[in-house]
Amino acid sequence: MFFRLLMESFRRQRRRKLLAGIAILLGTTAVTAMLALATTIGDRIHKELAVYGANIVVYPKAELLDVKVGGVDVKPASGGAYLKESDLAKLKGIFWGNNITGVSPELPVQLAVARLGEDRLFPAKAVGYWFDHDFGSLKTGAPALHPWWRLQGEWPASHSGDVVVGANFAKQLGLKIGDSFRTQSAPGDAGASWSTANVVGIVTTGDETDNEILLPLHDAQTIVGVNDGVRRVEVSARTKPEDAFARKDPDTLSPKDHDIWYCRPYANSIAYQIREAMPDAQAEQVRRVEQSEGNVLNRISGLMWLISAAALLAAGFAVSAAMATAILERRGEIGLMRSLGASKGAIAFLFYAETGLLAVFAGSLGYLAGSGLAAWLGARIFAGDGGVAGAVLIPVLLPVVVALALVVAIGGSTPSIRTALRMEPSAILREDA
């Protein structure tokens, strides 16, 4: 009997059920979409912030001071300490190794260059980089960590004698893609021999790299004569914005706190783990990037959460108002049922069951629609970031959203049901006649 009542109510009052259902559907759609966007916004914005470059730098502990003014390094080229390129593989093994999204070693070289067939020498700074290097499952290198570099042509293959030159340097020597020029390792470096470099690309960067020659790391190592040596490594890692706890010195913490600190992806903890993995290296967070990124990330995700809360509130209001109206319209039914001898409890149960069924059904549909909407919005807004649209359905949200829909729908209909039950059946029926 109860189920027949329930079924008939859905079959016969399609318009009313549809209205309440649409309200719940729209509400859950909006809430799901906002929550789905809010939970993924951190990763998305982090990807965007990657344009600021590395957030951790690694250099040899025994390194002399950088004596750099306006991009010109006046430090004596000879001497100094190097990191081992082969040690970089250890970065994959650190606790937060999976959070490392890019690695770019550098090795600066002083060169003297001359145009083909001329003897006049120009001093030039060259830097050896990885360009498209296999690093575990990652393809990484300088272009990945400097997304603002604009290249015409292509990056050189490793160990090839091909180079990319900065735009100013190219202008200075009148070089075009496909041209060659002669290089001589500057005095002081091992083997001052001439070799020929082929220009395969021209890069504009907007900083001192515009005046430099970019060559494969192995070629730079050959010129300098330090096999396996690099001067500096830039690392880009996904990090958690810094808070007061992150700033603590890990060596002064209690063992338990130390473990917690160690197991959070702060830039400081990742730098600490890099120092552990490479004992002769010093790793530091790049504060300009790291601090400000955390700031921006916090604000934007905070905004999204607040907007989600607003959406939740608005949807809650809308759904409960719609439910209240839906029940209010059916006072006649309540009066009839009561006059036919139904108990208050049975009537309330019937109405709650209807409401619950509607909330679960419309809520699930709304969850699907909201997930789809979030995926679509995310893909449209963050287009071209590659693979961000991965998590379309967030399963955790389904019970959350449906439970919310249930609570709001039942909460919204309760006052109307109670008022209707409290009234005399005869009064309701007469009024409605």
Partner 1 sequence: MATLSLAGMLRRSLVHRRARSVSALIAMTVSAGVATALLTLYADLDAKLHREFRSFGANIVITANGSLPADALARVQQAAGVDALAAEFAYAVATTDTGTPVVVSGTDFAAVKRLDSWWQVDAWPDAALANAALLGQRVAQFVGNERAVALTYAGHTVTLQGVGRIKTGGDEDSRIYMPLAAFTAWTGVGPSVIELQVPGGAKRVEATMTQLQKQLPDVQVQPVRQLVEGESKIVDRTHALMYGAVLLIALTVAVSVLATLSASVLERRRDFALMKALGGSQGQLMGMFLLEALVLALTGVAVGFVVGSAAAWAISEGNFHTATLPHLSVLPMVLLLNVAIAAMAALLPVRVLRGLQPAALLKGE
Q: Which of residues 295-314 bind partner 1 (CB under 8 A)?
A: 295-296, 299-300, 302-304, 306-307, 310-311, 313-314
Residues 141-170 that bind partner 1 (CB under 8 A): 146-148
| CB 358 to partner 1: min, Å | 13
Residues 177-216 that bind partner 1 (CB under 8 A): 205-207
| CB 71 to partner 1: min, Å | 9
Choice between 6 and 19, CB closer to partner 1: 19
Choice between 134 and 207, CB closer to partner 1: 207
Q: Could you say which of 6, 42, 75, 276 contacts partner 1 (CB under 8 A)?
A: 75
| CB 234 to partner 1: min, Å | 11
Contacting range for partner 1; rule: CB under 8 A; set: 52-60, 96-104, 255-263, 337-345:
52-60
Q: Could you say which of 288, 343, 349, 424 contacts partner 1 (CB under 8 A)?
A: 288
Residues 327-366 that bind partner 1 (CB under 8 A): 328-329
CB 293 within 8 A of CB 52: yes
CB 429 within 8 A of CB 420: no
Contacting range for partner 1; rule: CB under 8 A; set: 23-31, 108-116, 250-258, 420-428:
23-31
Structure token pair of residue 204:
């504009």
Choice between 148 and 194, CB closer to partner 1: 148
Choice between 283 and 337, CB closer to partner 1: 283
| CB 123 to partner 1: min, Å | 17
State yes or no: residue 91 binds partner 1 (CB under 8 A): no
Choice between 23 and 277, CB closer to partner 1: 23
Residues 104-133 that bind partner 1 (CB under 8 A): none
| CB 63 to partner 1: min, Å | 8
Number of residues that bind partner 1 (CB under 8 A): 77
C-beta neighbour count of 32 within 10 angstroms = 32
State yes or no: residue 100 binds partner 1 (CB under 8 A): no
Choice between 33 and 334, CB closer to partner 1: 33
Residues 360-399 that bind partner 1 (CB under 8 A): 373, 377, 380-382
Q: Is the dihedral of CA 149, 151, 156, 157 positive or negative?
A: positive
Residue that is written with structure tokens 């009997």 in the block: 1
CB 44 within 8 A of CB 385: yes
| CB 229 to partner 1: min, Å | 20
Residues 210-269 that bind partner 1 (CB under 8 A): none
Phi-psi region of 171 (alpha: psi -120 to 50; beta: other; left: phi over 0): alpha
Choice between 263 and 303, CB closer to partner 1: 303
| CB 45 to partner 1: min, Å | 7
CB 34 within 8 A of CB 400: no
Q: Could you say which of 9, 26, 351, 417 contacts partner 1 (CB under 8 A)?
A: 26
Choice between 384 and 390, CB closer to partner 1: 384
Q: Could you say which of 223, 226, 326, 401 contacts partner 1 (CB under 8 A)?
A: 326
State yes or no: residue 275 binds partner 1 (CB under 8 A): no
Rounded Cα–Cα distance for residues 183 and 189 (Å): 13
| CB 196 to partner 1: min, Å | 32
Q: Could you say which of 6, 284, 353, 393 contacts partner 1 (CB under 8 A)?
A: 284
Choice between 263 and 383, CB closer to partner 1: 383
